[in-house]
Every structure is written in structure tokens, then in C-alpha cells.
């Protein structure tokens, strides 16, 4: 090999080629072989690594995609839960409002009924008081008339009881007692 | 005042009046005096007021009865008032009248009239009441203007009421 190289160097001027564009034939052959070897080595050694790297990258990307999908799914689930919760809150709010309305209606109805009852009772009491007052006034009036009548009668009787009347009463008493046996 | 004390005073008055020989007059005068004390609040309070000296109360009695009652009656009332027993005088006199009536086998009949009765009326009334009740009566007439007119007689538990006051009361009740 060393001899081959020495001969090559000795016979050829490396700075001179037979074509201004193409290299020497041998150089093409050796270069081609070397290139093939290199490419073969690259294919044999580098390609799996590239494939592996690409696969790893693909897996990583897939993993990230899967994670994103899971996150999205979770987010959608959370969003659904929140929407459900919002729906529940709305339902609860409506329920509470409905109950409050029902209670308010019941309270108003109860208060109205109580007020109506109280008004009816007050009216009945007022009527009874008026009747009692009328009765009392009537009783007082009758009592006053009776009192005045009694006083008038007493005065009239006392005025009419002169000596003659007194004697007549005494004689009448004696006569009635004497005849009562 | 206890019954025993009232009884003792009434017996003492009875004995004195009987001893003086004018029991009927004294009894009658004491009876009227007792009714007057019962009817007159001012007189009763004056004769029973312990803050007034006994001599002053006795003087009131003498001024009140002087010339209108026998001396025995005045002295007996004065004795009761002076002893501070003026409040019990009506009860003592009532017991005396009962005792005097019992001595005569009679029962006390109290008659109230608005005006005084004449002797004739008193006699006829006593006869009428005796006839009506069937008992001998010792009639005591009390002049009581509050009866207005007519008479009311009380013999024991029996009451015969024919007064104008009662009739008016009945009329008022009916009115």
C-alpha cells in the first residue's frame, strides 16, 4: 500500500489533472468507494440513530399530543362540571326563589286572613260595645227616670201628708189591726 | 258592754223607778230618750264622747230633759251618762222595759209614727194590737218622722207595717 501510494505520488503531479472539471479516474473510483463506504456506514450506523431519534421525537410529540388531549378532555370535563354546577346553581336559585315566593305568598295570605279576622273581631266588638252602650244608656235612663219618679212621688206624697191625712192613716191602721183577728 | 252589766244596770234602774213609785212614767220617758239617742247621731256622739268631762255630759242631759221628764228619769239618765255607759243606754232601757213588762205579764209593742198619737189613739191602738196578737201589751210609741205617715208596730218578731215609707219603697222597687 505504501509502495502504491509512493508510486502514485511519484508518477502524478497532484496539482495537475487531465480535465479541468472532472477529477482523475482513480480518484473517482476511490472517492466513490469511500463515499459508498461512508454512506453505507452512515446508513448502517447513523440511520438507526436518526430513526430512533425521530421515533423518540414522534413519541414525545405523541405523548405531548396525548397529554394535551387528556388536558383538553379534563378541561372539557371540568367545563362540563362547571356548566352542570352552574345549572344546578341556577336550578337551586330558581328553587329558592320559588320557595321564597311561596312563603311570601303564604305569609301575605296568612297576614291578610289574620287581619280580616281581627277586623271582623273588632267590628263585632264595636257592635257589641255599641249595643252594650245603648243598653247601658237605656238602663241608666230608665234608672234615672225611676229615681226622679220616686223622688217626685215621695215629694208629692210628703206634701200631701197634712195633719188630716196623718190622722186618717193612723185611724186606718188602728181599724185594720183591730179587725185583723 | 257585757249582757251581765246591761242586766245589772237595767235592774238598778228598775229598782229605783219602782222605789220612787213612778215606774211606768220613768220607763216610758227612758224609752223615748233611748230612741232619741239612737236616732240622733250628734246627740249620741256628744253623750258618749269620753273626751268631754262627765259633768258636762250630765249637764247636757239635764238641759235636754229639764221640764220634759220626771226628776227620776233625769237622774237615772245622768247616772248612766256619768258612768260612761251612754253608748249602752238604749240596750239598758230596752232591758228595763222588758223587765217592767214582764212584771205586768205583758209584752213590749213598739209603735213608730210620724206624728204623736193622742191618748185615745194610743189606748185604742193598744187594744187593737192586743186583740190582734192575743197578748197583753206594753205599748211604746216612738215619734219617727222617717216613716212619713202611717204606723209600724213591732211585737216580738211580728211586724205590722202600714207606713207611707214602706209603701213608697215598694212603689220604687216596682218602678
Chain A residue with the nearest C-alpha to that of B170 = A150
C-alpha cell at B36: 232619741
CA distance A18 to A65: 59
> ipTM of this model?
0.77
State the angle between helix axes of B71-82 and B3-20 in degrees (0 to 180), rounded to the nearest 10. Answer: 160
A169 with B162: Cβ contact below 8 A = yes
Cβ-proximal residues to A51 (8 Å cutoff; 6+ apart), any chain: none
Indicate the Cα dihedral angle B67, B78, B119, B111, nearest 10°. Answer: 140
pLDDT tens sequence across B64-102: 888 889 999 999 999 999 888 888 899 999 999 989 888
Cβ-proximal residues to B134 (8 Å cutoff; 6+ apart), any chain: A181
Q: How many CB atoms neighbour CB A135 within 10 A? A: 10
Q: Which CATH architecture has domain B3-100?
A: Orthogonal Bundle (1.10)
pLDDT in tens, chain B (175 residues): 578 889 999 999 999 998 988 888 998 899 988 988 888 888 888 888 888 888 898 988 888 888 889 999 999 999 999 888 888 899 999 999 989 888 888 888 999 999 999 999 999 999 999 988 888 888 888 888 888 889 999 998 889 998 988 988 888 787 7
Q: What percentage of chain A reaches a pLDDT higher than 90? A: 39
B142 three-class SS: strand
Q: How far is CA B150 from the centre of its chain?
A: 19
Contacts of A180 in chain B (CB under 8 A): 132
B168 with A153: Cβ contact below 8 A = yes
CA distance B17 to B15: 6
pLDDT tens sequence across A101-112: 999 999 999 999
Contacts of A169 in chain B (CB under 8 A): 149-151, 162, 164
Sign of the torsion angle spanned by Cα atoms A80, A83, A89, A90: negative
User: In angstroms, what CA-CA distances link A4 with A10, A19, A33, B166?
Assistant: 10, 23, 17, 186
**What mean pLDDT is predicted for residues A75-99?**
89
Amino acid at each position: 500500500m505504501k509502495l502504491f501510494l509512493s508510486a502514485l505520488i511519484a508518477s502524478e503531479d497532484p496539482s495537475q489533472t487531465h480535465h479541468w472539471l472532472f477529477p482523475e479516474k482513480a480518484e473517482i473510483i476511490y472517492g466513490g468507494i469511500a463515499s459508498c463506504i461512508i454512506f453505507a456506514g452512515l446508513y448502517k450506523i447513523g440511520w438507526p440513530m436518526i430513526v430512533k431519534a425521530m421515533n423518540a421525537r414522534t413519541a414525545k410529540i405523541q405523548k405531548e399530543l396525548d397529554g394535551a388531549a387528556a388536558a383538553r378532555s379534563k378541561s372539557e370535563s371540568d367545563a362540563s362540571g362547571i356548566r352542570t354546577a352552574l345549572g344546578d346553581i341556577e336550578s337551586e336559585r330558581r328553587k329558592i326563589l320559588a320557595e321564597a315566593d311561596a312563603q311570601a305568598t303564604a305569609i301575605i295570605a296568612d297576614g291578610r286572613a289574620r287581619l280580616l279576622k281581627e277586623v271582623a273581631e273588632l267590628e263585632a266588638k264595636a257592635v257589641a260595645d255599641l249595643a252594650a252602650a245603648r243598653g247601658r244608656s237605656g238602663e241608666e235612663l230608665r234608672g234615672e227616670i225611676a229615681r226622679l219618679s220616686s223622688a217626685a212621688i215621695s215629694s208629692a206624697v210628703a206634701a200631701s201628708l197634712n195633719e188630716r191625712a196623718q190622722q186618717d192613716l193612723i185611724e186606718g191602721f188602728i181599724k185594720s189591726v183591730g179587725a185583723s183577728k | 258592754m257585757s249582757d251581765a252589766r246591761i242586766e245589772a244596770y237595767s235592774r238598778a234602774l228598775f229598782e229605783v223607778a219602782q222605789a220612787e213609785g213612778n215606774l211606768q212614767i220613768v220607763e216610758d220617758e227612758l224609752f223615748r230618750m233611748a230612741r232619741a239617742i239612737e236616732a240622733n247621731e250628734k246627740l249620741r256622739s256628744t253623750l258618749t264622747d269620753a273626751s268631754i268631762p262627765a259633768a258636762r255630759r250630765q249637764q247636757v242631759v239635764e238641759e235636754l230633759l229639764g221640764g220634759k221628764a220626771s226628776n227620776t228619769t233625769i237622774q237615772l239618765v245622768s247616772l248612766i251618762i256619768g258612768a260612761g255607759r251612754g253608748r249602752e243606754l238604749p240596750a239598758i232601757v230596752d232591758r228595763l222595759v222588758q223587765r217592767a213588762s214582764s212584771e205586768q205579764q205583758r209584752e213590749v209593742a213598739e209603735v213608730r209614727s210620724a206624728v204623736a198619737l193622742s191618748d185615745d189613739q194610743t189606748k185604742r191602738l193598744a187594744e187593737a194590737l192586743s186583740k190582734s196578737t192575743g197578748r197583753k201589751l206594753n205599748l211604746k210609741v216612738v215619734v219617727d218622722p222617717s216613716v212619713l205617715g202611717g204606723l209600724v208596730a213591732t211585737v216580738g218578731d211580728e211586724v205590722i207595717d202600714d207606713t207611707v215609707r214602706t209603701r213608697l219603697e215598694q212603689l220604687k222597687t216596682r218602678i
